[in-house]
Structure 1
Amino acid sequence: MLLSALGLAIGYIAVAMLGIFTGDLIDSMLNVQAVDGVWQKLGLLLLLSLVTLCLSFFLTVWIPQKLNLEAAVASSEVAISEFLKMSLRVFPKNKTGHYLNVVTMTAFVFSGVQIAVSVEFLGGLLAVIVLAIVAFTVNPWIGLLVLLYIPFYLVIIDYPSKKTNEILTESMKKREGWLDIGRRIIEEKFSINMLRAENYFENAYKAANDEYFLYVKRSSFFSALSKSLPSALSNFTQVVAIITGVMLLSIGQMSVGEILAAYLILSVLSEPLDTVCSVKSSYLAAKADIDVHLEHEKESQEPSGYEKLWNSSLKPAVK
C-alpha cells in the first residue's frame, strides 16, 4: 500500500513537471537565440503529454480503484469468517439485519476507508509536500504562493465538508421518520377511515414530508458546495497567480514561462489537496460503520465458555 501511495504522488508530480517543462518551452520560444531547439521541445512536450496522461490515469485513478475493490471483497470474506467463528452465546445479541449489514455494507465501507487512508491520503499528502518543494525550485515566489494557497484552501473547504458530514450522520434517522408515518398510514388505513381521521394523518404526513425534504435540500446544498468549491477556488487562485506573476514580470522577478508553470502547478495542487480533504470527510462520515465493523471483530473473538469441551480431532461434515 505504501508503494501505491507513492505511485499516486508520482502521478500528480508528473503532471506538475509537465507544467514546468511547458513553462520552460514558452521561455525558449520567447528567446530568439533558442529558436533552433523549440521544435525538438515541442515534440518532447507531445510525448510527455501522452506519457503523463497514462501515468495519471493508472497511478491516480485505476490502481486506487483496483485496490479498493480487492479490499472490499477480502473484507466481506473476513467478516463472514468472523461471523461463523462467533460463539452462540454472543450471536443472539443482534438481529439478522445487523449481521447482513456487517458482512456487506459495513465491510465495504471499512475497506474503502482503509484504502483511502493508507493510499489516497498518504499519496495526496506526499504529493502536496513534493509540489511545494518543486514550486520553490522553479521560483521562490511560486513557492511562497503555494505555501499561502495550501492553508487558504484547507480552511475554505473544511466548513462545507464538516456540514455535509454532520447532515449525513442524520440521514438514516430522518429517512426512517419520514417512511414511518407513511407506513403507519398504509397499515392503519381501515382504522383511519373508520374514525374519519383522514385530515389528521394528512397533516401529520405533510409535516413529516416537509421536515424530510428540508433536510434533503440542506444536504443537497452542502454536498453540491463541497463538490463545486474546490474547482472554483482553484480557478480563483490561478487568476491570482497570473496577476501576481504579471506584477513580478514587470520588475524582472518572474518570466512568462514561470507564470505559466505557477498556473499549472496550482491547478495540479488542488487535486491532491482535494483528495486529502475528501479522505478526511469520508473517514468522519464512515465512523459509525467503522465502529460497527471493529465491534463485530471483537465479538467474534469472545469465548463461548465451552472451549475445554471442544474436540479438535473431529472432522467437519463438509469442506
Structure 2
Amino acid sequence: MTFPTVRNRRLRASAALRSMVRETSLSANDFIYPLFVTEGTGVREEIASMPGVYHLSLDLLEEEIREVASLGIQAVLLFGVPDHKDELGSEAYGNNSIVQRATRKVKEWCPDLLVVADTCLCQYTSHGHCGVIRRDERTGRVDVDNDASLELLVKTAVSQAEAGADIIAPSNMMDGFVHAIRAGLDEAGFEHVPVMSYSVKYASAFYGPFRDAAHSTPQFGDRKTYQMDPANVREAVREAESDVAEGADMLMVKPALAYMDVIRLLKEQFDLPVVAYNVSAEYSMVKAAAMQGWLDERAIVLETLLGMKRAGADIIITYFAKDAARWLQQR
C-alpha cells in the first residue's frame, strides 16, 4: 500500500510519539572520556588545538575525575605525557610512570570508574614511533621492528594492569599485538582484564591535534607501514578477524566520522562490542566552527555521536563526553 493509506508522518506528530518510536538512543553510559596526564604539579594547561581539553598533573586530576563520575560517564582513557623519552619508550612500562601512578589515584578516588589504559609507545619514544626502530644495514631502510616492539608492549600492558587498569587498549597496530598482550596478561595473572583492541586504526590526517596533546609526532617518516590505508575496507575485516582470533574482547575503529561504513561492517561481521573513537580533529573542527558562531555545537555534537551509535558503535571514545553527558541530562 502507498499514499494516501501510508502516511509516514503519523509517527512524527509529537515529541512523545517521536521518542516512543526512536530506534537509537544515546546516553552517558556510551562514552569514554580521554585524559592527558602529565608530570609536575599545578599543571592545568589547555591544549591550543583542542579547546576545553587539558594537560593535567596528578595533583589537579582528582577534581576532573570526580566531575566525570558525577556526570554518569563510566570510564576514562588515560594517555601519559612523560618528562623523559628514550629510544625504547621505557617510561611506558615503568611501575612508577605517569599512567600507572594516575591509574592508582583514579582507583583510589573513584573505585567504580573504569580506567582504560592506552597501550602504546609513541608518547614515550624519542623518535615518536609506536615501537622499536631498526635500520636495515643492507638497504639503509628504517622501520619499526614488529616483534621486538611486542615485548615492550607486553611489559607496558602488564604494568598497567598491575597498577589497576580495568581495560587494556593497545593502539600500536603491530601484527600479533593482541595475542602477545593477551598471553602476557594471562601469564601475569590478569586473565580477567579485557583487551579493547584498536583493531582498525587508519593512518589518518584526523590525528593532528592529538599529536600536539600527546607530544607524539614522529620525528621522521610516518606511520603508514603499520597503520591502515584510508582507502581500504576489506583489510579492516582481516585486521579485526586477526584480533578476534587472538583474544580481543572489544574492537575499535579509529577515526570514526570518515569511517562510518567500517563501523557498520564490523558490527555486522562480528559479535564483539564495537568502539568508535571520535578523534581529536573531529573534536577540534566542531569547536573551531562553534567559536566562530557558524554552527550549533550542542546540536552538531549530539547528532554526530548519535550517528556513530546508529552506524553500530556500542561505545564511543570522545572528548565531548562531559559536554554531551550534560546536554543529555538537560533534555
Q: Does TM, scored on the shorter chain, surpass 0.5?
A: no
Greater RCO structure (CA 8 Å; 6+ sep): 1
TM-score of the pair, normalised by structure 1 = 0.20
Larger radius of gyration, structure 1 or 2? 1
